[in-house]
Structure 1
Amino acid sequence: MARPLRTPPALASAPSVRTDDPRRLAGELGTLLGEGTVAVHDNRASLDGALFTRSFDTISLGYLDIGTPTTIDIPVTADAVTVCMNQGGALAARVDGVTVHTTTVQAIVLSPRTAVRLEMTPESPQLLVRLERHAVEAAVARTLGRRVSEPLRFEPLFDLSSPESIRWSIAVQLLSTESMTDSSLLTLPLGRQSVADLLVASLLLLQPSNYSNSLRRQATSGLMVDALAYIEQHLAEPFSLAVLAHAVHVSPRHLQQTFRDRLGTTPSGYVRDQRLQRVRIDLTDADPRRGATVAGIAQRWGFTHAGRFANEYRDRFGESPSRTLRGA
């Protein structure tokens, strides 16, 4: 009696193969992971292997379930980035000479054209998400504004237990859900591209690679441009870190850290310094004989506590605001 398969609903009706022939399974796997061999550990045991696959342009979704302890050897993986997610039990693998062990809260990331050996057990079926290399590298190039100069390489062990990894899980869930829907986004070129972009962006932002530092610097530069532009437009208005973070689509904590890293201050400290500079400009240009006052100009730029403002101004510019106004 054939053992029951725990096929994900997204692939229940997908093209599939179930075989006891290691060569046939290796051939089918070749189109997804790369050409290699499949070897059952016990020569007296029969292979019980099943592979389900579904492709959408630059994305492929697969499910590999093997009912006998088996070694899969692929000397050179496909020209794609493939994420192998354990659906149960544990999996041992060797990726480009590095041994990794995964449970259901880790995944293996196979970079394009790397060597991998998977030690499959009946308890460790794999959900496979393949992203074509050119699609991933195109996203890197768009972000950096230049061509990719060296082959993309990810660290092989992907931690799915961190709070941030929910982004990857959501992207995979969207792919799975749309795979089951008749009026799916995946039936349209724009929809397929949108889902692919979400998967690629999630992986690039979450999983360390040889481009992570460049991507992080570029993302930070864009964030700072947006944040400083927003502050400039709303400088005279009451300041809220939460509102600024929402406007630039990051968490307040991330925004705080970015300002410290790039400017050596906090967002509120930056706003205060900019307001002090605007006050100084206005005080320098103002004429007290025409009714200009320190209090009026300070309030225009959001300083409502006269004593605190005077102390901050003196610390920043080495003189009192009234002295600046008098032009002395």
Structure 2
Amino acid sequence: MRSRGIPPALAEHEIFYTEQAPEAADLLGRALSPARLSLGEVDSQRFAASLHGVRLRDVSLLHLDFGIAADLDMPSMGPYYAVHMPTNGRVLCTHDGRTIECNPIRAVVTSPGMEMGMQFAYDSPILVLRIEQEALTSHLTRLLGGTLSQPILFEPEMDLTTEAAMRWTGAIQMLHTEIFYEDSLVQRGHGIGSIEELLMSTLLLLQPSNHQARLVMPVEPVGKRVVREALDYIEAHLADRVTMTDIAKNVHMSIRAVQQGFREELETTPMLYLRDRRLERARADLVDGLPRDGVTVTDVAERWGFNHLGSFAVLYRKRWGESPSETLRR
């Protein structure tokens, strides 16, 4: 039974196509992680590898197809989490000491730095949802209201037939739709953050991990509750003028108590956290913006509360290693 081919939303977004196995391994190494690719003798002359995909900001949707049977070994996954979902056939995956048959009803979730082995059966293309490690860690930190004691580590096997997993499938379909339609919010550079946060939250809530219990059934000390409520307030007022008095008033605690909570849970101060989140939002606008559409560094900086352009540029370069104008021009 032949697969239905490349998802329509990705069909016009080819990253590479090659009929040479060494070249395919090299290109996959650049796109995903350094990899070794080996083919069986049967049908090896018919080998053709293709990778299609799009990246929003911190979330990418990729489609990998070898056509024939192939073995792909990645000694160390890159700094990202990924959900591997075959759209046809089967892929035997070895990850975190487990071997799992991955197919259209069973996916595999990988964590950074671990070895990943994949044995592709004939006609077994795979859809990969990739989330950058830093983004997922930051998102979970905001949800929990505190720093993580250890990196996120997911249970590798994901059963796509459960009722809970239907929400994951729905989130993927929403992403596909937003990418496919030219007049969608995402295509117009809006709502990208919301889509990414939906995907990250859904994965964190549904897939077992070493932090899921804290997220699903949190038992919060007063300090953690204060920090979480302060983070919610800051997130909702990033574009507004916010003072320590505003934050303390809205969480019904003293300024000192809020500051102490941030030091203990996040190892920072409320105002430094606010500044960092504004820098992240400014970068997102610059990445999405196009100079021909009238987007300027000055407008973006002022939108997120940076009224001194020189200071904004210094902070921006220190955080990302490039100037705001360089980001806008890319």
User: TM-score interval w.r.t. the shorter chain?
Assistant: 0.5 to 0.7
Identity within the alignment, %: 30
- 2:54 maps to 54
Q: Which 4+ stretches in 1 moved above 3 angstroms?
A: 187-190, 219-222
User: C-alpha distance in 2, partners of 1:150/1:4?
Assistant: 40
State the shift of 1:18 in Å. 1.9
- 2:209 maps to 209
Residue deviations 1:36-64, cap 9 Å, x none? 11111227723221111211110111101
Question: Is the alpha carbon distance of 1:209 and 1:121 closer, same or farther for their aligned partners in structure 2, counting shifts above 3 Å?
Answer: same
User: C-alpha distance in 2, partners of 1:212/1:73?
Assistant: 29
Question: Is the alpha carbon distance of 1:4 and 1:120 closer, same or farther for their aligned partners in structure 2, counting shifts above 3 Å?
Answer: closer
- 1:34 maps to 33
- Tell me the SS of whatever aligns to 1:218: coil
Residue deviations 1:219-246, cap 9 Å, x none? 8999xx9xxxxxxxxxxxxxxxxxxxxx
Residue deviations 1:271-295, cap 9 Å, x none? xxxxxxxxxxxxxxxxxxxxxxxxx
- Tell me the SS of whatever aligns to 1:184: coil
Question: Is the alpha carbon distance of 1:149 and 1:158 closer, same or farther for their aligned partners in structure 2, counting shifts above 3 Å?
Answer: same
State the shift of 1:82 in Å. 0.7
State the shift of 1:5 in Å. 7.2
User: C-alpha distance in 1, partners of 2:76/2:159?
Assistant: 24
- 1:307 maps to none
**Are the aligned partners of 1:88 and 1:123 in contact in 2 as well (CA < 8 Å)?**
yes
Letter in 2 for 1:121: A
**Are the aligned partners of 2:81 and 2:112 in contact in 1 as well (CA < 8 Å)?**
yes
Question: Is the alpha carbon distance of 1:31 and 1:5 closer, same or farther for their aligned partners in structure 2, counting shifts above 3 Å?
Answer: farther
- 1:23 maps to 22
- 1:144 maps to 144
- 1:93 maps to 93
Unaligned runs of 5+ residues in structure 1 are 226-328
**Are the aligned partners of 1:5 and 1:65 in contact in 2 as well (CA < 8 Å)?**
no
User: C-alpha distance in 2, partners of 1:220/1:67?
Assistant: 50
Residue deviations 1:155-199, cap 9 Å, x none? 111111001111111110011011112223224565111000010
Per the normalisation by structure 2, the TM-score is 0.63
User: C-alpha distance in 1, partners of 2:37/2:114?
Assistant: 17
**Are the aligned partners of 2:3 and 2:123 in contact in 1 as well (CA < 8 Å)?**
no
State the shift of 1:31 in Å. 3.6
- 2:10 maps to 11
Aligned residue pairs: how many? 221
**Are the aligned partners of 2:3 and 2:87 in contact in 1 as well (CA < 8 Å)?**
no
- 2:159 maps to 159
- 2:181 maps to 181
User: C-alpha distance in 2, partners of 1:32/1:145?
Assistant: 33
User: C-alpha distance in 2, partners of 1:136/1:113?
Assistant: 15
Letter in 1 for 2:89: G
Letter in 2 for 1:41: G
Instruction: Tell me how large the CA RMSD over aligned residues is.
Output: 2.3
Unaligned runs of 5+ residues in structure 2 are 226-330
Letter in 2 for 1:42: E
Q: Rg larger in 1 or in 2?
A: 1
User: C-alpha distance in 2, partners of 1:5/1:25?
Assistant: 22
Residue deviations 1:81-100, cap 9 Å, x none? 11111101222110122111
Question: Is the alpha carbon distance of 1:4 and 1:197 closer, same or farther for their aligned partners in structure 2, counting shifts above 3 Å?
Answer: closer
Question: Is the alpha carbon distance of 1:9 and 1:94 closer, same or farther for their aligned partners in structure 2, counting shifts above 3 Å?
Answer: same
User: C-alpha distance in 2, partners of 1:140/1:179?
Assistant: 25
- 1:168 maps to 168
